[in-house]
Structure 1
Amino acid sequence: MLLFRIREDQKFITLYKPGFWLAGLAATFIGNGIGRFAYITLMPALIQANWFSKEDAAQLGVATLIGYLLGPIFIQRVIKRISNTILVGCGMVLCSLSYLACSFPNMSFLWFYGWRFLAGFGGAILMVLAAPMILPHVPTAQRGRVAGVIFSGIGLGAAASGLLIPLMVNINVVFAWLTMGISCSLLSFMTWKTWADISVESTVSTYVNHSHMGDTAVNLWRNHSMWYLLIAYAFNAVGFLPHTLFWVDFMVRELGFSLAVGGVSWSLFGIGAALGPLLTGILGDRWGFRRSLLVCFALKAFGVALPLITTTLWVLHFSAFLVGMFTPGIVTLVSMYALELVGAKQHRFVWSTMTFSFALTQAFGGFCMALLISHADSYLPLYAISATALVISILCIMATHPEDSPQLKQNT
């Protein structure tokens, strides 16, 4: 049974099916929710169990960011030769294997670095391809909500890891690695056929009139609003780095809270991240994506700056929840705003380019922060840097002009 039916006179074909959103949610759950964010809770346990030093554990986090940087480049190189379905399958397999491979405690640092790199690489593939494969099949009025469901997988993975990893570490660290690897493997198996179905459906164009799509597409390099959006998204990558690299370690080893308390705080980040895309998707449909982005960037900047004001526990929890809510929530809005600005035909290329710019800034920022923290006694300066980056994002969004978008011109 089809979830939506779209009229032929709107140039759409009825393609969207209920299983599609579940596959998209599973992809972001595996690629970022577990593939990347679960490591945040595990990091202090690895240091305390003497698996790695503080500096090495931080570099393993950066390895994931470097993999996330190179994933979009790989996609651009091979997208015409390898089907999206195969690429998504490779991404899920890499993320699953990365955790299983890290369960061997006596391997070298390079072994762990390589597998954390592959986790980021596979996660980037899933983040780049999942939404653009599904969203063009969704009616325009519903895209914000469906995108919210897809990207909520990031938060669900973070929430699950924050609650469960402290319990699993009480057994041992190996058990935690294995459990995450097996969970990703099961989700990959459950949604494997759905991605093949999406690929088959995509061979029938979501738009009936290809020439009309060509007329409405905008050259990315001449679209000034698209450039401002890309820059805002790149600085957004810096804005959430202290929370997504060091939050639990900041609470446990700098502020003296227990790993369980740090895990609860990270689970609040995850709960916020699960709710954020759903709420921002609805907000984007009602308010428009530009206005929604301005509000969300402002609230996220406030959340990042809160530890600079006070380190009271409930304020830290609120900071984690607020930043969590707008981490994938802003991803949802940016993806949909890009679709509005450039049209559906260019969306995959634009989203891949934006993911690369995000990953480049994220990897460089993460490397610099890991280097800085190895010579500093506190994580707090990192939060000041990130809050400033988010203010720059706000200014960039203010400079965009959605009224020039091809989608709006097409509907007038």
Structure 2
Amino acid sequence: MSSNNIKLSIFLCLSMCLGIGILRFSYTALLPTTRDAFGWSLSFASILGSANLLGYLIGAFLAMRLPQNKIMAQAIQTAAVAGMISLFCCAFSGLSEAWYIFWRVLSGISGGLLMILSPSVVAQCCDLQDRFKINFIGFSGIGMGVLLATLFLPYLDRISIQSAWLILCGFAFIICIIMHLLLKPFKQRLSAQNIQTKTALPLNALFYSLLLVYACSAFAYIPHSLFWIDYLSQEQQLSLFWINLNWVLYGLGSAFGAFSAYLLARKLGNFTALRLLYSVYIGAIFIAALSPMTVLTLASSFLTGLLNPAVVFLTSYTILQIYGLAYKKLWSIATLCFAATQLIGGLSFSALQHFAVTYQQQFSLAALVLLFGTLQLFWFTRSHAYKSTPQT
């Protein structure tokens, strides 16, 4: 790879690591200990999770409105710094509820901006034949961020929860500096570009099919992202060792997610790989609803961790390769749908818990929704054998 491609790969990897892995998933990993240490109620902790999802939706909308020029680089740097500050401000207890809600919303906004703008910058600054490899390396950053968050869990009985948040803030600070340095050489290229996005978008049945299954995956993932820890501790009565092991496996799975999708797409083609990944995803969610068995929870943790970044990466890359210059707008629409579905799903599952719907029933519902999305994907892509080779 050329030096420019290496810089773009590292930049996208760090951006995904910060925007998704740290700013979003660190809260899930640290939530039980933070809730106990800060004295939060279960309902307020759920509100903070929804606040982050709302921020992610706002960030996706803002990213869609930005022009495709040097403003994207400035927005990325601003979002990264704001996300770092949000981690710092969530490290202290005893503050008002509005304080934590504000910073979790801002954290979500930062994540939404980074999720859309960083791949768009890469798409404009790299050659067509290099996109697949750069995006694979870049989206692996989601798993890296999740892994960083989960690495704290075995040691939370030895360090304070405040220290854990501040260490994550330190990681974010380092990432901000490196991202700033890596973006510098590409700002001039972005300044010379101003891609028009007001032309008609190439929306068709294929795009809507990808959009629908992607949104279904957002809904189906909610139970694991919101109350997996509570399920393991309250329902399955697992010890702290087994709970930590589940989260470490989740982080390891996330680290290999984009790589797995990359290998499958190279061998089978994008659509066949997506169909296979979503099919396994259904099983990974459903086995969580089966009778308590430690081996099933471990498998569910690893597979859901692996499959979330896998389908995100391959969906994003497929849209990029098929629709070219319309990628930023279409990926913004996909991310908006993903974020909106997650927000609605979070509120829906919280309501189901209020009405005493069991965890097993909620996992079953999540698997059924993803089954519907996957079946329609099979139908609309049955005549497509789109490969991951460069398109003109």
Q: TM-score, normalised by structure 2?
A: 0.91
- Any idea what SS the aligned residue of 2:91 has? coil
1:95 deviates by 1.5
Which residue does 2:145 correspond to in 1? Answer: 157
Aligned length: 389
Asked if the contact 1:148/1:276 (under 8 Å) is kept, the reply is no
1:297 deviates by 0.1
The aligned amino acid for 2:229 is V
Q: Which moved more, 1:378-387 or 1:178-187?
A: 378-387
Asked if the contact 1:158/1:267 (under 8 Å) is kept, the reply is no
Q: In structure 1, what is the Cα distance between the partners aligned to 2:391 and 2:169? A: 46
Report matched runs for 1:9-408 at 5 Å: 16-49=4-37, 51-79=39-67, 83-168=71-156, 170-203=158-191, 219-221=201-203, 223-342=204-323, 344-376=324-356, 378-401=358-381
Q: In structure 2, what is the Cα distance between the partners aligned to 1:140 and 1:247? A: 40
Rate the CA distance shift 1:259–1:187 in 2: closer, same or farther, 3 A: farther
1:367 deviates by 1.5
1:258 deviates by 3.3
Q: Which moved more, 1:245-254 or 1:316-325?
A: 245-254
Asked if the contact 1:273/1:328 (under 8 Å) is kept, the reply is yes
Asked if the contact 1:158/1:266 (under 8 Å) is kept, the reply is no
The aligned amino acid for 1:397 is L
Q: Which moved more, 1:78-87 or 1:318-327?
A: 78-87
Q: Which moved more, 1:253-262 or 1:133-142?
A: 133-142
The aligned amino acid for 2:356 is A
- Any idea what SS the aligned residue of 1:220 has? coil
The aligned amino acid for 1:220 is P
Q: In structure 2, what is the Cα distance between the partners aligned to 1:229 and 1:151? A: 18
Q: In structure 2, what is the Cα distance between the partners aligned to 1:304 and 1:410? A: 34
Moved over 4 A (4+): 136-142, 203-206, 401-405, 407-411
Rate the CA distance shift 1:77–1:131 in 2: closer, same or farther, 3 A: closer
- Any idea what SS the aligned residue of 1:43 has? helix
- Any idea what SS the aligned residue of 2:325 has? coil
- Any idea what SS the aligned residue of 2:243 has? helix
Asked if the contact 1:229/1:400 (under 8 Å) is kept, the reply is no
Task: Provide structure 2 residue ranges, at least 5 long, that are not aligned to the other structure.
Answer: none
1:271-301 per-position Cα deviation (integer Å, ceiling 9, x unaligned): 1111110120232133211110000000011
Rate the CA distance shift 1:192–1:403 in 2: closer, same or farther, 3 A: same
1:83-125 per-position Cα deviation (integer Å, ceiling 9, x unaligned): 0111111221121111100112011111111111111110111
Q: In structure 2, what is the Cα distance between the partners aligned to 1:239 and 1:256? A: 24
The aligned amino acid for 1:84 is M
Rate the CA distance shift 1:330–1:218 in 2: closer, same or farther, 3 A: farther
Asked if the contact 1:169/1:176 (under 8 Å) is kept, the reply is no
1:140 deviates by 4.5
1:403 deviates by 5.1
Asked if the contact 1:277/1:329 (under 8 Å) is kept, the reply is yes
1:311-346 per-position Cα deviation (integer Å, ceiling 9, x unaligned): 21222111111111110100111011112332x210
Q: In structure 2, what is the Cα distance between the partners aligned to 1:119 and 1:224? A: 34
Q: In structure 2, what is the Cα distance between the partners aligned to 1:48 and 1:408? A: 50
